[in-house]
Amino acid sequence: MKRFLVPLLFCSGLATAAPVEQLASDVEGDVIQWRRHFHEHAELSNREFKTAKYISEYLQALGLQVQTGVAKTGVVAVLDSGRPGPTVALRADMDGLPVVESADLPFASKVKATYGGKEVGVMHACGHDTHMAMLMGAAKVLVESKSQLRGKVKFIFQPAEEGAPIGERGGAEVMVEEGVMKGVDVVFGLHISSKEDVNTVGYRSGGIMAAVDPWKIIVKGKQAHGAYPWSSVDPVVTSAQIVMGLQTIVSRELKLLTNAAVVTVGSINGGNRTNIIPNEVEMTGTVRSLDPVMRANILEAIRRKATSIAESMNAEVEISLPWGQSYPVTYNDPALMDEMMPSLVTSAGADNVRLQKAQTGAEDFSFFQKEVPGLFLFVGGKPLDLPADQAPEHHTPEFAIDEDGLKLGVKLFSNLTLDYMQNHKR
């Protein structure tokens, strides 16, 4: 069993806490090793059993109150200062992706697992290994800074951010349903970015990542021989017209000066022979939006266009919207963002705090932000000598980050917590 040694002097709160900068430097080597361990032993969504065990053993060694099995494999720990004050939640996600790693690393993942009934490689291709390691480092820094705390810190290690397997539920939404945010006043989350310079922090007030609404449309027609199309109600041609109609929602119905939006058709399937017009065609896709009104308009327009086009072709449609789990907008509370800007500057330096554009990617951290004000920030992980257009994308076999940026994540988690508590004494 892995043993984690924690200085008892600090745990007792008897010593004067060292500055965050020094404490983060002291734990940096451990953070890198933890990240490499998680990377080498990646696990899929809702299957993070070994990951959870490793994390929980460490948090218990720190003397924290630890709860396991939250939302199936999640881990939640509480650090109680013993003094009145707010409860600050800090979140890291735990799951890897069904991706075969191609990066030449001594700690590259060789893990195999089953996903969708097929054997797949498993890789931390989005940086969740770094998120866990940074939060573990922050837990140690905050334990050693206990004399400065006012209130409680809740460390949330969340499973299934990438989405639970088909037929299952998971992630932040389930954690909220199970009461993880009960008594919490504010929540902070970080995400590594392979495209942003190492040792920088990216921020944005308001919507920083998009809402996501998956959808499925089944177009039902009438089967016929391909040589006699007049005998059919052709779902293939109808589907083609629906695809083109959906593309006009963003380009012709939305005021894009307000915010960005995306309607994507991701798959289309129907038929099995060249000379048979099938009975039906199934298509699936996703909607991404950063504005609640625009989101509602898009969802209405998908139903309207698909139904109207099908009727014009004598076909029928069955629309599932949303189809599967939807995420709300990841929304950074503007007042909280203004309040915590000094913490970003303290952690990264003024020149390394960078306003960034909103992204059409999605994050289920947004479920925590629906409960309490929260901030979601980006930590740069791109080597300075690597052009951004050459940096590997997230969710790809080539994904890699510069580990020099992990210390900044530890400082951000720690300073955000300490500063918020100082600003909200009770």
User: Hey, how many other C-beta atoms are within 10 angstroms of the C-beta on 389?
Assistant: 6
The number of residues making up the chain comes to: 426
The catalytic residue among 57, 316, 339, 403 is: 403
Rounded average pLDDT over 246-270: 96
Can you give the pLDDT at residue 10? 38
Q: What pLDDT is recorded for position 116?
A: 87
For 377-385, what is the mean pLDDT?
A: 98
8-state DSSP, 114? E
pLDDT for res 166: 84
Q: What percent of the chain has pLDDT over 90?
A: 93
What pLDDT was estimated at residue 425? 86
Pairing of strands 186-197, 87-93: parallel
202-221 average pLDDT score: 97
List of domains in the chain: 8-209+329-423 (3.40.630.10), 211-320 (3.30.70.360)
Angle between helix axes 406-423 and 20-40 (nearest 10 degrees) is 130
Angle formed by the axes of helices 128-144 and 20-40, to 10°? Answer: 150
Mean pLDDT, residues 348-376 taken together: 97
pLDDT band at 324; cut points 50, 70, 90: confident
- Give the pLDDT confidence of 103-113 residue by residue, as tens digits: 899 999 999 99
pLDDT of residue 17: 67
Residues 179-189: tens digit of each pLDDT = 999 999 999 99
Does 27 have pLDDT greater than 90? Answer: yes
- For residue range 386-409, list pLDDT tens digits in order: 999 999 999 999 999 999 999 999
Residue 84's pLDDT band (cuts 50, 70, 90): very high
Is residue 327 among the annotated active site residues?
A: yes
Asked whether 142 and 172 are in contact (CB, 8 A), the reply is no
Q: Does residue 11 have a pLDDT over 60?
A: no
Q: Which helix (H) or strand (E) holds 225?
A: strand 224-225
**Contacts with 240 (C-beta within 8 Å, 6 or more apart), sequence order:** none
Rounded Cα gap, residues 347 and 344, in angstroms: 5
Kindly state the percentage of the chain with pLDDT values over 70: 96
In the set 327, 331, 363, 420, the catalytic residue is 327
pLDDT over 70 at 5, yes or no: no
The arithmetic mean of pLDDT across residues 77-98, rounded, is: 98
Q: What is the mean pLDDT of residues 317-337?
A: 95
pLDDT score at 316? 98
What pairs with residue 208 in β-bridges?
A: none
Computed over every residue of the chain, the mean pLDDT equals 95
User: What token pair was written down for 84?
Assistant: 């009145």
Structure-token match 């309490």, residue found: 372
How many angstroms from the chain centroid is the CA of residue 42? 16
pLDDT at 188: 99
Q: Residue 137: which of 145, 149, 126 has the closest Cα?
A: 145
pLDDT at 88 over 50: yes
Give the N- to C-terminal CA distance of the chain in Å, as an integer.
41
- Count of CB atoms situated within 10 Å of the CB of 418: 22
253: pLDDT confidence band, cut at 50, 70 and 90?
very high
Cβ contact 91:184 at 8 Å: no
Q: How confident is the model at residue 426 (pLDDT cuts 50, 70, 90)?
A: confident
Which pLDDT score is estimated for 4? 47
Distance of alpha carbon 187 from the chain centroid: 14
Residue 397 — φ and ψ, nearest 5°? -65, -25
329 to each of 238, 297, 379, how far by Cα in Å? 32, 15, 20
DSSP β-ladder status, 112-115 and 118-121? antiparallel
Across the range 205-212, mean pLDDT stands at 96
Confidence (pLDDT) at 18: 86
The average pLDDT across 339-348 equals: 98
DSSP lists the bridge partners of residue 193 as 380
The pLDDT of residue 379 is above 70 = yes
Query: Which residue is associated with the tokens 């990617």?
Result: 361
User: Which residues does residue 399 pair with via DSSP β-bridges, in sequence order?
Assistant: none
Looking at residues 343-356, what average pLDDT do you find? 98
Nearest to 422 by CA among 217, 202, 148, 33: 148
